[in-house]
Structure 1
Amino acid sequence: MTTPILHHYPMSPFAEKARLMLGFKGLAWQSVYIPSVMPKPDVVALTGGYRRTPLLQIGADIWCDTSLIATVLEHLQPGPSLFPEHLKGLARIVAQWADTDLFWPAMGYTLSPKGAAAMFANQPPEAAQAFAADRGAMSAGMTRLRPGDATSAYRSHLRRLANMLHEQPFLLGEAPCIADFAAYHPLWFTRVINPAMAGILDATPGVLAWMDRMAAIGHGKPSKLTSTEAIAIAAAAEPAPLPQEAFQDDHGIALGSRVTVAAQSFGTETTEGTLVAATRTHYTLARTDDRAGRLHVHFPRIGYVLKEVKA
């Protein structure tokens, strides 16, 4: 099996979710640092346009979005499970809530004007300006919470997490699952990346204790790789054979059609390719890049928009 490659950067909250999941699985993986803002030519060479962080690469297969990455890791290493059998549906629902309804208030609070000033205090002004401009472009068309509204929502969500942890060490029981990894990373961003804003967590000591348990999982066994080396690995490989999963046609778009896939909101850059799979959980696009060769790029169905490219 080709060693999984995570394309990420240190302060990315969703990358921390992926790093911890790799640690939970005890997997050896290769670590490629990518820029936190555009341009990202090596990322786009692999994805064809998608630029959100992180990406998981296995040979010439590129997996986008941590919800899909979690499923891939579960197949690579079934135990310990991110999706306990008796809690599978609930765990996914809580994780989806955490990645959206919890994530955005956490970011709105932590990156408020006060928070941004603290986070970029020791960096040149251009760094803060570039970050703000990049994220502004990524969120074009989104309704973003104002700092006061984000703070109120964040406090409420933290109390709900505290309630879930009242008589158990993890959100859904005695062991962590996908719900814990999804809920942890926005809070990690507040506590670790911008500690000047971490006081909001003090009102929920049970949540802080849970965060300590999550942090103790660690990141597994990473080794460093350059993005040039990762692209060379893709170019030297062929996409893995697609499993025999049923074609779920919800769009009237046939396999073999030229299509685009893009996130519904935030970072809506499109990836164009040939639709080679549309299962009940994800889409797969085949595309070719001058440097990376023939690739399969995979996206989850939930949170993404599939469109046919009309001739």
Structure 2
Amino acid sequence: MTADLILHHYPSSPFSEKIRLVLGYKKLPWRSVEVPRIMPKPDVLPLTGGYRRTPFLQVGADIYCDTALICDVLEHVRPEPTLYPPHLKGVCRIFAQWADSTLFWAAMAYNLKPEGAAHAFAGAPPDARKAFAEDRKAMSSNMVRLRPGDATSAYRSYLRRIANMADEHDFLFGAAPCVADFAAYHGIWYTRTQVPVLADILNATPSVGEWASRMAAIGHGPMTSLDAADAIAVAAALEPQPAGANLLVDSAFQDDHGIALGTRVTIAAESFGPETTEGELIAATRTHYSLRREDARAGVVHVHFPRIGYVLRRADGA
């Protein structure tokens, strides 16, 4: 390791809690940079180039976006204990993808119905709740959002399915957690810790609460705070790792778009968070894309995205 693991996050972010727990599970020391919940994010965009979802992981001048990719990076940094047990590698990834999308959005539509939102923003300035709602509306312009009643029904059903698994094991697939546990946990974490006024939905599935307590007990590991400007200075002072030599183990070019390496491209999420990041395509492997971009404050950075869930286009629109 030539640079610290720097997590850009904020305390009430569910996806950040997912990665904080993974760091704790792997007992990895990390630096904490707290970012704003909503735009503007003046110390985020110099590093990501447009991507504004939370969290993202910085290692020197390499920026890793999306928690699915961050989990792969942390697995490479410290393979044990593994997030991907060999006999469960396929099923735990598929479950995690479902949990990070279908389960999560049902949970959050339930969590942020009026009484939940009122609790989450209690004590905040009067316009904070409205600003947050408008920000997330802009980020979800490409999504179909569940109404609270539909979300409640779906969340109850999903909790029963998770209970069927938690009834049998300490964790969802066995005696130890895997990536599926961390992906399933964070929306439920929000119910338990951020909107406890709505946590009675968990009463019908006590094994889910017991499992969630075991997850919470993992903790966040050794953390020290870092100022956002200092994180940008770290990137500016270091060269990004060459494509194929960073913390992503696959490097072979996989061309599914007819876009050559070296082309100016944009990458954006398929649904939530439509903002684009533009740069030079320096890697397109079976699992990820990497862009080279330059910023006045951060210098040259490499920004990495998973293939799944992201759209690659030529910057000129051709």
Q: Deviations over 1:258-303 (max 9, x none)?
A: 0000000111100000000001000000000000000000000000
Q: Deviations over 1:176-203 (max 9, x none)?
A: 0000000000000111011111111111
- What is the one-letter code of the residue matched to 2:306? P
Work out the percentage of aligned pairs sharing the same amino acid.
66
- Unmatched tracts of structure 1, length 5 or more: none
Contact residue 52 and residue 273 of structure 2 kept, 8 A:
yes
1:196 partnered with 2:197:
yes
- What is the one-letter code of the residue matched to 2:284? A
Cα distance, 1:166 vs structure 2: 1.5
**Superposition TM-score, scaled by structure 1 size:** 0.99
Aligned mates of 1:189, 1:149 — CA distance in 2: 19
Q: Deviations over 1:26-63 (max 9, x none)?
A: 00000000000000011100000000000100000000
Contact residue 43 and residue 232 of structure 2 kept, 8 A:
yes
2:14 corresponds in structure 1 to 13
- What is the one-letter code of the residue matched to 2:104? F
Alpha-carbon RMSD: 0.9
Q: Deviations over 1:47-99 (max 9, x none)?
A: 00000000100000000000000000000001000010110010100000000
- What is the one-letter code of the residue matched to 2:279? G
Aligned mates of 1:141, 1:89 — CA distance in 2: 28
1:27 partnered with 2:28:
yes
Cα distance, 1:123 vs structure 2: 2.0
2:231 corresponds in structure 1 to 230
1:66 corresponds in structure 2 to 67
- What pairs up with 1:254-269 in 2 under 5 angstroms? 254-269=260-275
2:283 corresponds in structure 1 to 277
1:306 partnered with 2:307:
no
- What is the one-letter code of the residue matched to 1:179? A
Aligned mates of 2:65, 2:217 — CA distance in 1: 26
Q: Deviations over 1:150-180 (max 9, x none)?
A: 0000000000000011111111111000000
- What is the one-letter code of the residue matched to 2:138? A
- What is the one-letter code of the residue matched to 1:156? S
Contact residue 243 and residue 290 of structure 2 kept, 8 A:
no
Aligned mates of 1:50, 1:37 — CA distance in 2: 12
2:134 corresponds in structure 1 to 133
- What pairs up with 1:1-311 in 2 under 5 angstroms? 1=1, 2-243=3-244, 245-310=251-316
Aligned mates of 2:6, 2:119 — CA distance in 1: 32
Aligned mates of 2:125, 2:39 — CA distance in 1: 18
Aligned mates of 1:141, 1:224 — CA distance in 2: 35
**SS of equivalent residue, structure 1 residue 42:** coil
Aligned mates of 2:142, 2:51 — CA distance in 1: 17
**SS of equivalent residue, structure 2 residue 182:** helix
Aligned mates of 1:209, 1:166 — CA distance in 2: 10
Aligned mates of 2:167, 2:120 — CA distance in 1: 32
Cα distance, 1:129 vs structure 2: 1.1
**Superposition TM-score, scaled by structure 2 size:** 0.96
Aligned mates of 1:141, 1:303 — CA distance in 2: 13
Structure 1 runs (4+) deviating above 4 angstroms are none
Aligned mates of 1:216, 1:20 — CA distance in 2: 9
- What is the one-letter code of the residue matched to 1:285? L
Aligned mates of 1:295, 1:175 — CA distance in 2: 36
Q: Deviations over 1:2-21 (max 9, x none)?
A: 11000000000000000000
Aligned length: 311
Aligned mates of 1:229, 1:121 — CA distance in 2: 32
Aligned mates of 1:214, 1:42 — CA distance in 2: 31
